[in-house]
Chain A
Amino acid sequence: MTAWHLDPDAIRRYAQGAVPLELAASAEAHLMKCAACRGAISSYVDARRAEAIWHEVVDRVDAPRRSWPERMLVRLGVREPTARLVAATPTLRGPWLLAVAGVLALAAWTAQVDERFLQMFLVVAPLGPLAGVAVAFAGGLDPTRDIGLAAPYSGLRLLLIRTAAVLAVTVPLVAAAGLALPGSNWLAAAWLLPTAGLTCAALALTGRMPPVVAVGVVATAWVSVTTPAGLAGRLDLAFGVGAQVLWLAMAVGGGTWLAVTRNTVTTKLGRSA
């Protein structure tokens, strides 16, 4: 017990949050021990404000700590719900990324051993990010696919979020492998526009078929064109200046089509939903 009590004015101002920090700390220390002052303050407390503060405290204490990828994304300015959706993208898991890195490293290593295999790297490079987009929606790898399909969240929005996340991780991997290539430096970047073009084409096709099938169609077309060109020593057909303009046009065209039809076309994330 204490003989000293907060005066009514201090109590009122404290309850309204209008006292300096040091006085508030002192008042709090006293309130913890003094039932009389706690009784006196109750009539001044704004119940709604107290409830809001209590609610926030409970939420902060009770909600789990975000995983480090989510924390990093939020620090980079990504909204908290979007960060959670990105964290659940199957393709961003360690084993899958290691597999992509392994394939690219192998392609880069073979090109180092024998420069005739440079074409192999260029053919493989866009397939890494493309496969990442497909796997992000593959039924076997997304354990919550059916739950997601039955939810009202926009399929296109989810597709774009996951695609952006996959590209943000896989493109640097491919770029790093490209820098290890022998010979001319342009090779390290020549796959970028084809990757963008192929990805946008695959996304545009998701209005007609599931992402896995769309990526399969695009990847098959890519390999069918580039492999014979490489074998014939005509890589410029796929990676030359003219071809780069074509890939750019495909990227812009696919992106524009997606933007224009976003409200009218249902993205086929599932078999037929």
Chain B
Amino acid sequence: MTTVRVKGATKSFGRTTALHSVDLDAGPGVTGLLGPNGAGKTTLLRIIATVLAPDRGEVTLLGRDPSRPDDRKRIRERLGYLPQDAGFHRGFTVFEFIDYVAILKEMTGRRARHDEVRRVIGLTGLASVSAKRIRALSGGMRRRVGLAQSLLGDPDLLVLDEPTVGLDPEQRLRFREMISHAGEGRTVVLSSHQTDDITALCARIAVIHQGRARFTGTPAELTAQAEGRVWTEARRSPAALAAWRTGDGTYRNVGEPPAGADLIAPTLEDAYLLLMGEPELKVAHS
């Protein structure tokens, strides 16, 4: 079942084209957008979150057309969104802020709304800080507050822009756990430039680079594209597009291997590096 369908989406800001005719389909489960900073992931996610409208192309969300005001409202009632640089009214406490977003989500009955606020606070492990002012929280806890507000109303579509950015390893693991849980029975579309997040969470991925979708498929399919193109050597291979020294002292080389190279199993990161474009990698290497 497809709940997010983007077809030929193009979006420009002045002279800069952020998206060039991008297609994306997503259904229940976690779909990841992978790409470097400035690739167009945030623009695509803002379109899926109904914050932006594409200049050209068709978008269907939860079976509705977001360009129509009635449909857009219905979509927003079933949508949760965590922006990349989610801001907060810093004077609000955690409870007050999530309550404020619940009001924007048209939960007007005080008791039912407060119950829902408590539910998402519990889900994201914020119960012990619910009365604290947001300005007193760490970056990781603030990110949790952002995730909590996106879960209000148990949305069918969850759009998360770089949910794990700025988190320490433990917090990232906790976040993965929460997002994985959130992806059960609903559609989650998230962006990241961390391949390990994508590997851990996503059933499907789209690699976005310079405003274009360079790959769509499963992480295993992307990884398979690097089969036979990753090898180890005692030194940096001149044939490699990218190479780095590993913990055991050998070099992991990615590119076109020389004859007789000691091939090893590729990772998603290897495949991502190969997909991102050889000229840029060569420049970096030189």
Decide if B50 touches A273 in the complex (CB within 8 Å): yes
Min distance, Cβ B145 to any Cβ of chain A, angstroms? 11
A7 interfacial by beta-carbon distance below 8 Å: no
Chain A: which residue is nearest B11 at the CB level?
A272
Chain B: which residue is nearest A145 at the CB level?
B87
A73 interfacial by beta-carbon distance below 8 Å: no
Interface-lining segment among A16-24, A106-114, A148-156, A211-219: A148-156
Which listed residue, A153, A270, A272, touches B104 by the CB 8 Å rule? Answer: A153
Which listed residue, A59, A158, A271, touches B52 by the CB 8 Å rule? Answer: A271
Decide if B52 touches A56 in the complex (CB within 8 Å): no
Q: A59-B111, A88-B89, A146-B83 are in contact. Are A152 and B73 (CB under 8 A)?
A: yes
B92 interfacial by beta-carbon distance below 8 Å: yes
Chain A: which residue is nearest B133 at the CB level?
A64
Residues of A within 8 A of B115 (CB): 59
Min distance, Cβ A143 to any Cβ of chain B, angstroms? 2
List A153-173 residues whose CB lies under 8 Å from chain B: 153, 158
Decide if B105 touches A152 in the complex (CB within 8 Å): yes
Chain A: which residue is nearest B55 at the CB level?
A272
Decide if A147 touches B149 in the complex (CB within 8 Å): yes
A266 interfacial by beta-carbon distance below 8 Å: yes
Residues of B within 8 A of A146 (CB): 46, 49, 51, 81, 83, 86
A144 interfacial by beta-carbon distance below 8 Å: yes
Which listed residue, B89, B92, B106, B111, touches A56 by the CB 8 Å rule? Answer: B111
Decide if B111 touches A55 in the complex (CB within 8 Å): yes
Min distance, Cβ A160 to any Cβ of chain B, angstroms? 15
Q: How far is the CA of A109 from the CA of B52 in the complex (A)?
A: 45
Residues of A within 8 A of B130 (CB): 64
Q: A64-B131, A143-B87, A144-B88 are in contact. Are A150 and B111 (CB under 8 A)?
A: no
Q: How far is the CA of A65 from the CA of B103 in the complex (A)?
A: 17
B206 interfacial by beta-carbon distance below 8 Å: no
Decide if A147 touches B86 in the complex (CB within 8 Å): yes
The CB with the most chain B CB atoms within 10 A, among A144, A146, A151, A272, is that of A151
Residues of B within 8 A of A270 (CB): 51-52
A84 interfacial by beta-carbon distance below 8 Å: yes
Q: Range of interface residues on chain A?
A: 20 to 34
List A226-273 residues whose CB lies under 8 Å from chain B: 266, 270-273
Task: Count B-side interface residues using an 8 Å CB cutoff.
Answer: 41
Q: A64-B96, A152-B73, A273-B51 are in contact. Are A147 and B104 (CB under 8 A)?
A: yes
Decide if B93 touches A64 in the complex (CB within 8 Å): yes
List A195-218 residues whose CB lies under 8 Å from chain B: none
Chain B: which residue is nearest A273 at the CB level?
B51
Which listed residue, A145, A151, A158, touches B101 by the CB 8 Å rule? Answer: A151
B99 interfacial by beta-carbon distance below 8 Å: yes
Which listed residue, B46, B81, B92, B114, touches A59 by the CB 8 Å rule? Answer: B114
Chain B: which residue is nearest A269 at the CB level?
B51
A39 interfacial by beta-carbon distance below 8 Å: no
A9 interfacial by beta-carbon distance below 8 Å: no
B118 interfacial by beta-carbon distance below 8 Å: yes
Chain A: which residue is nearest B88 at the CB level?
A143
Q: How far is the CA of A158 from the CA of B104 in the complex (A)?
A: 9
B108 interfacial by beta-carbon distance below 8 Å: yes
Residues of A within 8 A of B118 (CB): 62
Decide if B89 touches A84 in the complex (CB within 8 Å): no
Decide if B114 touches A147 in the complex (CB within 8 Å): no
Residues of A within 8 A of B92 (CB): 88
Which listed residue, B52, B76, B99, touches A151 by the CB 8 Å rule? Answer: B76
Q: How far is the CA of A151 from the CA of B73 in the complex (A)?
A: 8
List B15-47 residues whose CB lies under 8 Å from chain A: 46
Q: A150-B50, A150-B76, A272-B53 are in contact. Are A144 and B101 (CB under 8 A)?
A: yes
Which listed residue, A80, A142, A271, A272, touches B110 by the CB 8 Å rule? Answer: A80
The CB with the most chain A CB atoms within 10 A, among B87, B88, B106, is that of B87
Q: How far is the CA of A63 from the CA of B110 in the complex (A)?
A: 10
Residues of B within 8 A of A95 (CB): none
B residues sitting closer than 8 Å to A (CB atoms) are: 46, 49-53, 69, 72-73, 76-77, 79, 81, 83, 86-93, 95-96, 99-101, 103-106, 108, 110-111, 114-115, 118, 130-131, 149, 159
User: Could you give 17 example pairs across A and B, Cβ below 8 Å?
Assistant: A63-B114, A64-B96, A81-B108, A85-B100, A143-B88, A144-B100, A144-B101, A146-B49, A146-B51, A147-B83, A149-B50, A150-B49, A151-B76, A151-B101, A151-B105, A266-B69, A273-B53
Further pairs besides A81-B108, A148-B104: 16, Cβ < 8 Å? A67-B91, A81-B110, A143-B90, A144-B87, A144-B88, A146-B83, A147-B83, A147-B104, A149-B49, A149-B51, A150-B159, A152-B77, A153-B103, A266-B69, A273-B51, A273-B53
